[in-house]
Chain A
Protein backbone atom coordinates (compact mmCIF):
# COMPACT_ATOMS: atom_id res chain seq x y z
CA UNK A 1 0.00 0.00 0.00
CA UNK A 2 1.36 3.39 -0.89
CA UNK A 3 1.70 5.72 2.08
CA UNK A 4 -1.01 8.26 2.83
CA UNK A 5 1.48 11.03 3.35
CA UNK A 6 5.09 11.19 2.28
CA UNK A 7 7.39 13.99 3.35
CA UNK A 8 11.00 14.28 2.27
CA UNK A 9 13.46 16.89 3.46
CA UNK A 10 10.87 19.36 4.76
CA UNK A 11 12.28 22.75 5.68
CA UNK A 12 10.49 25.71 7.22
CA UNK A 13 12.44 28.96 7.16
CA UNK A 14 11.63 32.35 8.57
CA UNK A 15 13.50 35.34 7.21
CA UNK A 16 14.23 37.74 10.03
CA UNK A 17 16.26 40.90 10.34
CA UNK A 18 19.17 38.88 11.65
CA UNK A 19 19.07 36.37 8.81
CA UNK A 20 17.05 33.24 8.09
CA UNK A 21 15.94 31.09 11.02
CA UNK A 22 15.23 27.47 10.22
CA UNK A 23 12.42 26.15 12.39
CA UNK A 24 12.36 22.77 10.63
CA UNK A 25 15.54 21.50 9.01
CA UNK A 26 15.13 18.55 6.73
CA UNK A 27 12.44 16.35 8.27
CA UNK A 28 11.44 13.22 6.36
CA UNK A 29 8.80 10.68 7.23
CA UNK A 30 6.04 8.69 5.66
CA UNK A 31 2.70 7.84 7.15
CA UNK A 32 0.32 5.03 6.38
CA UNK A 33 -3.02 4.55 8.05
CA UNK A 34 -1.38 4.50 11.44
CA UNK A 35 -0.59 6.65 14.43
CA UNK A 36 2.62 8.60 14.18
CA UNK A 37 3.79 10.56 17.20
CA UNK A 38 6.01 13.63 17.01
CA UNK A 39 7.61 14.52 20.33
CA UNK A 40 9.93 17.30 21.40
CA UNK A 41 10.24 20.30 23.64
CA UNK A 42 8.81 23.75 22.90
CA UNK A 43 10.62 25.19 19.93
CA UNK A 44 11.72 21.85 18.52
CA UNK A 45 9.68 22.42 15.36
CA UNK A 46 7.02 19.78 15.94
CA UNK A 47 4.09 22.16 15.57
CA UNK A 48 5.71 23.78 12.50
CA UNK A 49 6.04 20.34 10.92
CA UNK A 50 2.32 19.73 11.42
CA UNK A 51 1.35 23.12 10.07
CA UNK A 52 3.69 22.84 7.09
CA UNK A 53 1.86 19.74 5.89
CA UNK A 54 -1.29 21.86 5.56
CA UNK A 55 0.77 24.79 4.21
CA UNK A 56 -0.55 26.88 7.08
CA UNK A 57 2.67 28.84 7.51
CA UNK A 58 2.27 32.48 6.69
CA UNK A 59 4.87 34.67 5.03
CA UNK A 60 7.60 35.53 5.87
CA UNK A 61 7.77 31.83 6.69
CA UNK A 62 8.67 29.57 3.76
CA UNK A 63 7.92 25.87 3.33
CA UNK A 64 10.25 23.84 1.13
CA UNK A 65 10.46 20.12 0.62
CA UNK A 66 11.94 17.74 -1.92
CA UNK A 67 8.67 15.86 -1.86
CA UNK A 68 5.42 16.25 0.05
CA UNK A 69 2.63 14.07 -1.30
CA UNK A 70 -0.75 13.36 0.28
CA UNK A 71 -2.71 10.50 -1.26
CA UNK A 72 -1.16 11.06 -4.70
CA UNK A 73 -1.52 14.83 -4.59
CA UNK A 74 1.55 17.04 -4.50
CA UNK A 75 1.13 19.46 -1.62
CA UNK A 76 4.02 21.67 -2.67
CA UNK A 77 2.67 22.29 -6.18
CA UNK A 78 -1.01 22.49 -5.16
CA UNK A 79 -2.74 25.82 -5.67
CA UNK A 80 -4.24 27.67 -2.74
CA UNK A 81 -7.67 26.65 -4.04
CA UNK A 82 -6.71 22.96 -4.04
CA UNK A 83 -5.27 23.31 -0.55
CA UNK A 84 -8.54 24.79 0.68
CA UNK A 85 -10.38 21.75 -0.65
CA UNK A 86 -8.01 19.51 1.32
CA UNK A 87 -7.99 21.42 4.61
CA UNK A 88 -10.69 20.23 6.93
CA UNK A 89 -12.27 17.87 4.41
CA UNK A 90 -9.39 15.47 3.82
CA UNK A 91 -6.81 16.64 6.36
CA UNK A 92 -8.11 17.87 9.68
CA UNK A 93 -6.12 19.65 12.32
CA UNK A 94 -6.83 19.95 16.02
CA UNK A 95 -5.07 22.98 17.42
CA UNK A 96 -3.38 23.32 20.72
CA UNK A 97 -5.37 25.88 22.61
CA UNK A 98 -9.17 26.03 22.52
CA UNK A 99 -9.02 29.52 24.04
CA UNK A 100 -7.50 30.91 20.86
CA UNK A 101 -8.78 28.50 18.24
CA UNK A 102 -12.52 28.74 18.73
CA UNK A 103 -14.43 31.81 17.65
CA UNK A 104 -15.18 33.72 20.87
CA UNK A 105 -18.31 35.45 19.56
CA UNK A 106 -20.10 32.40 18.12
CA UNK A 107 -21.71 29.78 20.25
CA UNK A 108 -20.53 26.20 19.90
CA UNK A 109 -23.60 25.10 17.98
CA UNK A 110 -23.15 27.78 15.34
CA UNK A 111 -19.46 26.91 14.93
CA UNK A 112 -20.10 23.21 14.64
CA UNK A 113 -22.93 23.54 12.12
CA UNK A 114 -21.43 26.35 10.01
CA UNK A 115 -19.43 24.02 7.80
CA UNK A 116 -22.20 21.45 7.55
CA UNK A 117 -24.72 24.01 6.42
CA UNK A 118 -22.57 26.07 4.07
CA UNK A 119 -20.35 23.37 2.62
CA UNK A 120 -22.46 20.25 2.74
CA UNK A 121 -25.84 21.96 2.35
CA UNK A 122 -27.41 20.37 5.43
CA UNK A 123 -30.68 21.78 6.74
CA UNK A 124 -30.78 23.38 10.17
CA UNK A 125 -32.23 20.38 11.98
CA UNK A 126 -29.98 17.82 10.25
CA UNK A 127 -26.87 19.87 10.90
CA UNK A 128 -27.83 20.26 14.53
CA UNK A 129 -28.46 16.54 14.94
CA UNK A 130 -25.09 15.76 13.39
CA UNK A 131 -23.30 18.29 15.60
CA UNK A 132 -24.92 16.85 18.71
CA UNK A 133 -23.89 13.36 17.64
CA UNK A 134 -20.33 14.60 17.20
CA UNK A 135 -20.33 16.12 20.68
CA UNK A 136 -21.65 12.87 22.09
CA UNK A 137 -18.89 11.01 20.28
CA UNK A 138 -16.30 12.98 22.24
CA UNK A 139 -18.05 12.13 25.52
CA UNK A 140 -19.66 15.47 26.28
CA UNK A 141 -22.36 14.70 28.80
CA UNK A 142 -25.01 17.30 28.00
CA UNK A 143 -24.48 18.29 24.36
CA UNK A 144 -27.67 20.39 24.28
CA UNK A 145 -26.24 22.80 26.84
CA UNK A 146 -22.81 22.88 25.21
CA UNK A 147 -24.37 23.71 21.83
CA UNK A 148 -25.73 26.95 23.33
CA UNK A 149 -22.54 27.82 25.20
CA UNK A 150 -19.89 30.30 24.10
CA UNK A 151 -16.24 29.22 24.24
CA UNK A 152 -15.51 31.28 27.38
CA UNK A 153 -18.20 29.34 29.22
CA UNK A 154 -16.44 26.04 28.62
CA UNK A 155 -13.57 24.56 30.58
CA UNK A 156 -10.33 23.82 28.73
CA UNK A 157 -11.15 20.15 28.45
CA UNK A 158 -14.61 20.84 27.08
CA UNK A 159 -13.23 23.34 24.56
CA UNK A 160 -10.65 20.82 23.42
CA UNK A 161 -13.32 18.19 22.92
CA UNK A 162 -15.48 20.64 20.98
CA UNK A 163 -12.52 21.23 18.65
CA UNK A 164 -11.97 17.53 18.18
CA UNK A 165 -15.68 17.06 17.45
CA UNK A 166 -15.52 19.88 14.91
CA UNK A 167 -12.57 18.31 13.10
CA UNK A 168 -14.16 14.88 13.00
CA UNK A 169 -17.46 15.96 11.45
CA UNK A 170 -16.09 15.99 7.85
CA UNK A 171 -14.45 12.58 8.48
CA UNK A 172 -10.94 13.43 7.28
CA UNK A 173 -8.46 10.83 6.03
CA UNK A 174 -5.63 12.37 7.96
CA UNK A 175 -5.86 14.12 11.30
CA UNK A 176 -3.05 16.26 12.60
CA UNK A 177 -3.55 16.64 16.31
CA UNK A 178 -1.34 19.25 17.92
CA UNK A 179 -1.24 18.59 21.67
CA UNK A 180 -4.90 17.58 21.58
CA UNK A 181 -4.96 16.31 25.13
CA UNK A 182 -2.48 18.45 27.02
CA UNK A 183 -5.28 20.58 28.47
CA UNK A 184 -7.23 17.52 29.60
CA UNK A 185 -7.29 15.46 32.76
CA UNK A 186 -5.80 12.01 32.68
CA UNK A 187 -9.15 10.26 32.79
CA UNK A 188 -10.61 12.44 30.02
CA UNK A 189 -7.33 12.13 28.15
CA UNK A 190 -7.80 8.38 28.08
CA UNK A 191 -11.32 8.82 26.66
CA UNK A 192 -10.22 11.23 23.95
CA UNK A 193 -7.34 8.96 23.00
CA UNK A 194 -9.66 6.01 22.71
CA UNK A 195 -11.93 8.07 20.43
CA UNK A 196 -8.97 8.88 18.20
CA UNK A 197 -7.82 5.30 18.40
CA UNK A 198 -11.20 4.00 17.27
CA UNK A 199 -11.12 6.36 14.29
CA UNK A 200 -7.73 5.14 13.17
CA UNK A 201 -8.75 1.52 13.55
CA UNK A 202 -12.32 1.58 12.22
CA UNK A 203 -12.10 4.18 9.49
CA UNK A 204 -8.48 3.74 8.56
CA UNK A 205 -7.65 7.32 9.34
CA UNK A 206 -4.02 8.40 9.51
CA UNK A 207 -3.01 10.35 12.58
CA UNK A 208 -0.09 12.63 13.34
CA UNK A 209 -0.05 13.12 17.06
CA UNK A 210 2.09 16.03 18.20
CA UNK A 211 2.89 16.14 21.89
CA UNK A 212 5.55 16.98 24.41
CA UNK A 213 4.52 14.04 26.56
CA UNK A 214 6.79 11.19 25.64
CA UNK A 215 5.04 8.61 27.78
CA UNK A 216 1.64 9.43 26.40
CA UNK A 217 2.90 9.18 22.84
CA UNK A 218 4.67 5.94 23.55
CA UNK A 219 1.52 4.41 24.92
CA UNK A 220 -0.73 5.62 22.16
CA UNK A 221 1.20 5.72 18.89
CA UNK A 222 2.73 3.10 16.64
CA UNK A 223 5.87 5.05 15.76
CA UNK A 224 7.51 8.05 17.34
CA UNK A 225 9.68 10.78 15.83
CA UNK A 226 11.74 12.62 18.41
CA UNK A 227 12.58 16.17 17.36
CA UNK A 228 15.18 18.58 18.63
CA UNK A 229 15.89 21.99 17.13
CA UNK A 230 14.06 21.28 13.90
CA UNK A 231 15.59 17.88 13.25
CA UNK A 232 14.45 14.34 13.82
CA UNK A 233 17.05 12.97 16.20
CA UNK A 234 15.52 9.53 16.50
CA UNK A 235 12.72 7.46 15.04
CA UNK A 236 11.61 4.50 17.14
CA UNK A 237 8.81 1.98 17.33
CA UNK A 238 6.73 3.13 20.29
CA UNK A 239 7.01 -0.21 22.02
CA UNK A 240 10.78 0.03 21.96
CA UNK A 241 10.90 3.56 23.29
CA UNK A 242 12.31 2.49 26.63
CA UNK A 243 15.24 1.08 24.74
CA UNK A 244 15.79 4.34 22.85
CA UNK A 245 19.47 5.03 22.53
CA UNK A 246 19.62 8.72 21.73
CA UNK A 247 20.71 10.75 24.78
CA UNK A 248 18.02 13.36 24.12
CA UNK A 249 15.23 10.77 24.08
CA UNK A 250 16.60 9.21 27.25
CA UNK A 251 16.86 12.63 28.88
CA UNK A 252 13.22 13.39 28.08
CA UNK A 253 12.18 10.08 29.60
CA UNK A 254 14.25 10.40 32.74
CA UNK A 255 13.21 13.90 33.70
CA UNK A 256 9.61 12.82 34.36
CA UNK A 257 8.67 11.98 37.94
CA UNK A 258 7.29 8.51 38.56
CA UNK A 259 4.78 7.21 41.07
CA UNK A 260 6.73 5.52 43.80
CA UNK A 261 9.96 6.81 42.34
CA UNK A 262 12.85 8.27 44.25
CA UNK A 263 12.60 11.65 45.97
CA UNK A 264 16.01 12.68 44.69
CA UNK A 265 16.12 15.72 42.42
CA UNK A 266 14.94 14.87 38.93
CA UNK A 267 17.71 14.64 36.38
CA UNK A 268 17.74 17.67 34.13
CA UNK A 269 18.28 17.50 30.42
CA UNK A 270 21.93 17.57 29.42
CA UNK A 271 22.32 19.93 26.51
CA UNK A 272 26.07 19.78 26.32
CA UNK A 273 26.52 16.46 24.52
CA UNK A 274 28.09 16.24 21.07
CA UNK A 275 24.69 15.47 19.54
CA UNK A 276 23.40 19.00 20.25
CA UNK A 277 25.95 20.35 17.79
CA UNK A 278 24.96 18.02 14.94
CA UNK A 279 24.40 19.96 11.79
CA UNK A 280 24.07 23.35 13.45
CA UNK A 281 25.34 25.89 10.95
Chain B
Protein backbone atom coordinates (compact mmCIF):
# COMPACT_ATOMS: atom_id res chain seq x y z
CA UNK B 1 0.00 0.00 0.00
CA UNK B 2 1.22 3.47 -0.82
CA UNK B 3 1.80 5.93 1.96
CA UNK B 4 0.53 8.95 0.06
CA UNK B 5 -2.32 8.44 -2.39
CA UNK B 6 -3.64 11.41 -4.31
CA UNK B 7 -6.58 10.63 -6.53
CA UNK B 8 -7.97 13.04 -9.12
CA UNK B 9 -7.10 16.04 -6.98
CA UNK B 10 -8.45 19.41 -8.09
CA UNK B 11 -7.86 22.75 -6.44
CA UNK B 12 -9.87 25.78 -7.53
CA UNK B 13 -9.43 29.28 -6.15
CA UNK B 14 -12.36 31.64 -6.44
CA UNK B 15 -11.91 35.38 -6.03
CA UNK B 16 -13.75 38.41 -7.38
CA UNK B 17 -15.94 36.19 -9.51
CA UNK B 18 -12.90 34.67 -11.22
CA UNK B 19 -11.99 31.03 -11.03
CA UNK B 20 -8.43 29.83 -11.14
CA UNK B 21 -7.97 26.12 -11.54
CA UNK B 22 -4.58 25.64 -9.96
CA UNK B 23 -4.65 21.84 -10.00
CA UNK B 24 -6.84 19.73 -12.24
CA UNK B 25 -7.36 16.00 -11.79
CA UNK B 26 -3.87 15.05 -10.70
CA UNK B 27 -3.27 11.57 -9.35
CA UNK B 28 -0.10 10.22 -7.83
CA UNK B 29 1.04 7.68 -5.29
CA UNK B 30 4.17 7.65 -3.19
CA UNK B 31 5.32 4.49 -1.43
CA UNK B 32 6.75 4.54 2.07
CA UNK B 33 10.43 5.56 2.08
CA UNK B 34 10.18 6.65 -1.52
CA UNK B 35 11.29 10.05 -2.75
CA UNK B 36 8.93 11.57 -5.29
CA UNK B 37 9.44 14.78 -7.25
CA UNK B 38 7.10 17.33 -8.79
CA UNK B 39 8.59 19.56 -11.46
CA UNK B 40 7.18 22.29 -13.68
CA UNK B 41 7.02 26.02 -14.29
CA UNK B 42 5.66 28.53 -11.81
CA UNK B 43 1.91 28.34 -11.86
CA UNK B 44 1.92 24.70 -12.84
CA UNK B 45 0.31 23.78 -9.53
CA UNK B 46 3.17 21.80 -8.05
CA UNK B 47 3.38 23.77 -4.80
CA UNK B 48 -0.41 23.88 -4.60
CA UNK B 49 -0.48 20.09 -4.35
CA UNK B 50 1.77 20.23 -1.29
CA UNK B 51 -0.35 23.00 0.20
CA UNK B 52 -3.53 21.02 -0.46
CA UNK B 53 -2.08 18.05 1.40
CA UNK B 54 -1.44 20.31 4.42
CA UNK B 55 -4.87 21.91 4.22
CA UNK B 56 -3.49 25.24 3.06
CA UNK B 57 -5.33 25.16 -0.26
CA UNK B 58 -9.03 24.39 -0.86
CA UNK B 59 -9.64 20.95 -2.32
CA UNK B 60 -12.47 21.14 -4.85
CA UNK B 61 -12.39 17.57 -6.07
CA UNK B 62 -10.71 14.23 -5.60
CA UNK B 63 -9.15 12.82 -2.47
CA UNK B 64 -5.92 12.67 -0.50
CA UNK B 65 -5.16 9.61 1.62
CA UNK B 66 -2.22 9.24 3.96
CA UNK B 67 -1.57 5.63 4.94
CA UNK B 68 -4.89 4.60 3.42
CA UNK B 69 -6.94 7.03 5.54
CA UNK B 70 -8.51 10.14 3.97
CA UNK B 71 -7.12 13.31 5.53
CA UNK B 72 -9.42 15.02 8.04
CA UNK B 73 -10.40 18.69 7.81
CA UNK B 74 -9.07 20.55 9.73
CA UNK B 75 -5.88 18.49 9.63
CA UNK B 76 -5.27 18.33 13.38
CA UNK B 77 -2.37 17.24 15.55
CA UNK B 78 -2.20 13.65 14.41
CA UNK B 79 -1.63 14.86 10.87
CA UNK B 80 1.09 17.30 11.95
CA UNK B 81 2.88 14.49 13.73
CA UNK B 82 2.99 12.49 10.49
CA UNK B 83 3.40 15.10 7.79
CA UNK B 84 5.54 18.23 7.90
CA UNK B 85 6.47 20.80 5.30
CA UNK B 86 9.65 22.75 4.54
CA UNK B 87 8.97 25.97 2.67
CA UNK B 88 10.90 27.65 -0.11
CA UNK B 89 12.03 30.85 1.49
CA UNK B 90 13.81 30.48 4.83
CA UNK B 91 13.66 34.25 5.19
CA UNK B 92 9.87 34.17 5.28
CA UNK B 93 9.12 30.86 6.96
CA UNK B 94 10.76 31.48 10.36
CA UNK B 95 9.18 33.88 12.84
CA UNK B 96 11.53 36.90 12.88
CA UNK B 97 10.92 37.71 16.53
CA UNK B 98 11.13 34.19 17.93
CA UNK B 99 14.49 32.73 18.86
CA UNK B 100 15.45 29.48 17.18
CA UNK B 101 14.81 27.80 20.52
CA UNK B 102 11.22 29.05 20.60
CA UNK B 103 10.63 28.12 16.95
CA UNK B 104 11.86 24.59 17.57
CA UNK B 105 10.14 24.01 20.92
CA UNK B 106 6.74 25.33 19.87
CA UNK B 107 5.60 22.13 18.13
CA UNK B 108 6.65 20.16 21.24
CA UNK B 109 4.58 22.43 23.47
CA UNK B 110 1.55 22.11 21.19
CA UNK B 111 1.79 18.34 21.25
CA UNK B 112 2.48 18.25 24.99
CA UNK B 113 5.83 16.50 24.59
CA UNK B 114 8.35 16.76 27.39
CA UNK B 115 12.11 17.11 27.37
CA UNK B 116 12.06 19.99 24.93
CA UNK B 117 15.47 21.23 26.07
CA UNK B 118 17.32 18.08 25.07
CA UNK B 119 15.26 17.67 21.92
CA UNK B 120 16.09 21.15 20.65
CA UNK B 121 19.82 20.59 21.17
CA UNK B 122 19.56 17.21 19.45
CA UNK B 123 17.58 18.68 16.55
CA UNK B 124 20.18 21.37 15.93
CA UNK B 125 22.93 18.79 16.09
CA UNK B 126 21.10 16.61 13.56
CA UNK B 127 21.04 19.40 10.99
CA UNK B 128 24.67 20.29 11.61
CA UNK B 129 24.26 23.50 13.61
CA UNK B 130 26.02 24.29 16.90
CA UNK B 131 23.81 24.13 20.00
CA UNK B 132 24.55 27.78 20.80
CA UNK B 133 22.44 28.79 17.79
CA UNK B 134 19.27 28.13 19.78
CA UNK B 135 19.51 31.56 21.36
CA UNK B 136 19.84 33.38 18.08
CA UNK B 137 17.16 35.07 16.02
CA UNK B 138 16.65 34.21 12.34
CA UNK B 139 18.25 37.46 11.17
CA UNK B 140 21.49 36.37 12.81
CA UNK B 141 21.73 33.34 10.53
CA UNK B 142 22.66 32.95 6.88
CA UNK B 143 20.17 31.61 4.33
CA UNK B 144 21.60 28.10 4.45
CA UNK B 145 21.58 28.07 8.25
CA UNK B 146 17.97 29.25 8.28
CA UNK B 147 16.94 26.49 5.92
CA UNK B 148 18.65 24.01 8.26
CA UNK B 149 16.56 25.44 11.11
CA UNK B 150 13.42 25.09 8.97
CA UNK B 151 14.31 21.43 8.35
CA UNK B 152 15.00 20.91 12.08
CA UNK B 153 11.61 22.44 12.88
CA UNK B 154 9.86 20.12 10.45
CA UNK B 155 11.58 17.13 12.05
CA UNK B 156 10.78 18.05 15.69
CA UNK B 157 7.69 15.83 15.79
CA UNK B 158 9.49 12.98 14.04
CA UNK B 159 7.15 12.83 11.04
CA UNK B 160 7.18 10.08 8.42
CA UNK B 161 6.59 12.39 5.51
CA UNK B 162 8.40 15.58 4.57
CA UNK B 163 6.85 17.86 1.98
CA UNK B 164 9.67 19.93 0.49
CA UNK B 165 8.69 23.03 -1.44
CA UNK B 166 11.76 24.19 -3.38
CA UNK B 167 13.94 23.77 -0.30
CA UNK B 168 17.13 25.01 -1.97
CA UNK B 169 16.07 27.45 -4.65
CA UNK B 170 16.84 30.47 -2.44
CA UNK B 171 20.35 29.21 -1.71
CA UNK B 172 23.77 29.46 -3.35
CA UNK B 173 24.98 26.48 -5.35
CA UNK B 174 27.56 25.47 -2.74
CA UNK B 175 25.04 25.83 0.12
CA UNK B 176 22.45 24.00 -1.96
CA UNK B 177 24.83 21.05 -2.14
CA UNK B 178 25.15 21.01 1.65
CA UNK B 179 21.38 21.17 2.23
CA UNK B 180 20.67 18.47 -0.36
CA UNK B 181 23.29 16.24 1.28
CA UNK B 182 21.67 16.91 4.67
CA UNK B 183 18.21 15.95 3.37
CA UNK B 184 19.60 12.80 1.78
CA UNK B 185 21.31 11.79 5.02
CA UNK B 186 18.21 12.45 7.13
CA UNK B 187 16.04 10.43 4.78
CA UNK B 188 18.47 7.57 5.03
CA UNK B 189 18.77 7.69 8.82
CA UNK B 190 15.10 8.13 9.59
CA UNK B 191 13.42 6.33 6.72
CA UNK B 192 11.55 9.45 5.64
CA UNK B 193 9.25 9.72 2.66
CA UNK B 194 9.84 12.81 0.55
CA UNK B 195 7.47 14.65 -1.73
CA UNK B 196 9.65 17.34 -3.23
CA UNK B 197 8.84 20.25 -5.50
CA UNK B 198 11.47 21.97 -7.59
CA UNK B 199 11.78 23.77 -10.88
CA UNK B 200 15.32 22.45 -11.23
CA UNK B 201 15.29 19.14 -13.02
CA UNK B 202 18.86 18.38 -11.96
CA UNK B 203 18.00 18.80 -8.26
CA UNK B 204 14.89 16.65 -8.65
CA UNK B 205 16.88 14.01 -10.45
CA UNK B 206 19.50 13.96 -7.72
CA UNK B 207 16.95 13.67 -4.93
CA UNK B 208 14.05 11.57 -6.16
CA UNK B 209 13.23 8.16 -7.57
CA UNK B 210 10.27 9.20 -9.69
CA UNK B 211 9.18 12.56 -10.98
CA UNK B 212 5.88 13.96 -12.20
CA UNK B 213 6.13 16.72 -14.80
CA UNK B 214 3.32 19.26 -14.47
CA UNK B 215 2.05 22.06 -16.67
CA UNK B 216 -0.90 24.43 -16.12
CA UNK B 217 -2.23 22.42 -13.21
CA UNK B 218 -2.22 19.11 -15.04
CA UNK B 219 0.04 16.12 -14.85
CA UNK B 220 1.96 15.80 -18.11
CA UNK B 221 4.15 12.78 -17.65
CA UNK B 222 5.61 10.61 -14.94
CA UNK B 223 9.23 9.62 -15.37
CA UNK B 224 11.42 7.22 -13.50
CA UNK B 225 14.96 8.27 -12.74
CA UNK B 226 16.33 6.01 -15.46
CA UNK B 227 13.92 7.38 -18.06
CA UNK B 228 14.93 10.92 -17.17
CA UNK B 229 18.64 10.22 -17.36
CA UNK B 230 18.17 8.40 -20.65
CA UNK B 231 16.00 11.25 -22.02
CA UNK B 232 13.21 8.76 -22.74
CA UNK B 233 10.33 11.19 -22.24
CA UNK B 234 7.33 10.88 -24.51
CA UNK B 235 5.76 14.34 -24.29
CA UNK B 236 7.11 17.47 -25.96
CA UNK B 237 6.74 19.53 -22.81
CA UNK B 238 8.84 17.20 -20.68
CA UNK B 239 11.46 17.23 -23.39
CA UNK B 240 11.53 21.01 -23.64
CA UNK B 241 11.96 21.20 -19.87
CA UNK B 242 14.77 18.71 -20.10
CA UNK B 243 16.45 20.58 -22.93
CA UNK B 244 16.17 23.93 -21.18
CA UNK B 245 17.78 22.59 -18.04
CA UNK B 246 21.00 24.55 -17.53
CA UNK B 247 22.64 21.34 -16.47
CA UNK B 248 22.78 20.07 -20.03
CA UNK B 249 24.50 23.07 -21.45
CA UNK B 250 27.94 22.25 -20.20
CA UNK B 251 27.87 18.73 -21.43
CA UNK B 252 30.58 18.69 -24.08
CA UNK B 253 28.90 15.81 -25.89
CA UNK B 254 25.72 17.81 -26.47
CA UNK B 255 26.81 21.18 -27.70
CA UNK B 256 24.21 23.89 -27.07
CA UNK B 257 22.58 25.16 -30.27
Given known A-B contacts A42-B143, A186-B200, A218-B249, A257 and B174 have beta carbons under 8 A apart: no
Is the CB–CB distance between B177 and A268 below 8 Å? yes
Q: Does B199 contact A (CB under 8 A)?
A: yes
User: What residues of A have a CB within 8 angstroms of the CB of B202 in the complex?
Assistant: 256-259, 261
**A220 and chain B: residue at smallest CB distance:** B249
Is the CB–CB distance between B42 and A157 below 8 Å? yes
Nearest CB in chain B: distance from A241 CB, A: 7
Given known A-B contacts A155-B43, A156-B42, A186-B245, A260 and B174 have beta carbons under 8 A apart: no
Which single member of A41, A185, A213, A257 contacts B203 (CB below 8 Å)? A257
Q: Does A65 contact B (CB under 8 A)?
A: no
Is the CB–CB distance between A261 and B205 below 8 Å? yes
Q: Does A212 contact B (CB under 8 A)?
A: yes
Is the CB–CB distance between A259 and B43 below 8 Å? no
One of B4-12, B153-161, B236-244 at the interface: B236-244
Which single member of B185, B200, B244 contacts A187 (CB below 8 Å)? B244
User: What residues of A have a CB within 8 angstroms of the CB of B40 in the complex?
Assistant: 185
A interface, size bucket: 35 or more
Q: Does B222 contact A (CB under 8 A)?
A: no
Cα A257 to Cα B240 with chains together (Å)? 19
Cα A85 to Cα B40 with chains together (Å)? 42
Cα A42 to Cα B244 with chains together (Å)? 25
User: What residues of B have a CB within 8 angstroms of the CB of A187 in the complex?
Assistant: 41, 240-241, 244
Q: Which of A224-281 contact B (CB under 8 A)?
A: 241-242, 251-253, 255-261, 263, 265-269
Is the CB–CB distance between A188 and B41 below 8 Å? yes
Nearest CB in chain A: distance from B129 CB, A: 16
Q: Which of B132-164 contact A (CB under 8 A)?
A: 142-143
User: What residues of B have a CB within 8 angstroms of the CB of A261 in the complex?
Assistant: 202, 205-206
User: What residues of B have a CB within 8 angstroms of the CB of A268 in the complex?
Assistant: 174, 177-178, 181
User: What residues of B have a CB within 8 angstroms of the CB of A157 in the complex?
Assistant: 41-42
Is the CB–CB distance between B172 and A42 below 8 Å? yes
Is the CB–CB distance between A215 and B250 below 8 Å? yes
Q: Does B1 contact A (CB under 8 A)?
A: no
Is the CB–CB distance between B241 and A213 below 8 Å? no
User: What residues of A have a CB within 8 angstroms of the CB of B230 in the complex?
Assistant: 260
User: What residues of A have a CB within 8 angstroms of the CB of B180 in the complex?
Assistant: 257, 266
B interface, size bucket: 35 or more
Nearest CB in chain A: distance from B230 CB, A: 8
Nearest CB in chain A: distance from B90 CB, A: 13
Nearest CB in chain A: distance from B61 CB, A: 24
Q: Does B229 contact A (CB under 8 A)?
A: yes
Nearest CB in chain A: distance from B57 CB, A: 16
**A261 and chain B: residue at smallest CB distance:** B206
Is the CB–CB distance between A260 and B250 below 8 Å? no
Q: Does B111 contact A (CB under 8 A)?
A: no
Nearest CB in chain A: distance from B224 CB, A: 12
Main secondary structure of the interface of B (DSSP, over half): helix
Is the CB–CB distance between B250 and A242 below 8 Å? yes
Which single member of A186, A190, A212, A252 contacts B199 (CB below 8 Å)? A186
Is the CB–CB distance between B250 and A259 below 8 Å? no
Q: Does A119 contact B (CB under 8 A)?
A: no
Is the CB–CB distance between B206 and A189 below 8 Å? no
Residue among A215, A251, A259, A265 with max Cβ neighbours from chain B (10 Å): A259
Nearest CB in chain B: distance from A97 CB, A: 11
Q: Does B29 contact A (CB under 8 A)?
A: no
Is the CB–CB distance between B244 and A186 below 8 Å? yes
Cα A190 to Cα B40 with chains together (Å)? 14
Cα A155 to Cα B22 with chains together (Å)? 14
Cα A191 to Cα B112 with chains together (Å)? 52
User: What residues of B have a CB within 8 angstroms of the CB of A213 in the complex?
Assistant: 173, 246
**A256 and chain B: residue at smallest CB distance:** B173
Is the CB–CB distance between A269 and B240 below 8 Å? no
Q: Does A216 contact B (CB under 8 A)?
A: yes
Cα A269 to Cα B144 with chains together (Å)? 14
A42-B143, A186-B246, A257-B206 known; 7 new pairs, CB 8 Å cut-off, are: A185-B42, A185-B199, A241-B250, A253-B250, A259-B229, A259-B248, A265-B181
Q: Using CB atoms and an 8 Å cutoff, list the residues of chain A in contact with chain B.
A: 41-42, 155-157, 184-190, 212-216, 218-219, 241-242, 251-253, 255-261, 263, 265-269
9 shortest A-B CB distances, which residue pairs?
A260-B229, A257-B206, A219-B249, A255-B177, A266-B177, A269-B174, A185-B41, A186-B244, A215-B246
* CB-defined A-B contacts under 8 Å, sample of 9: A216-B249, A242-B252, A255-B174, A255-B177, A256-B247, A259-B229, A259-B245, A265-B181, A265-B185
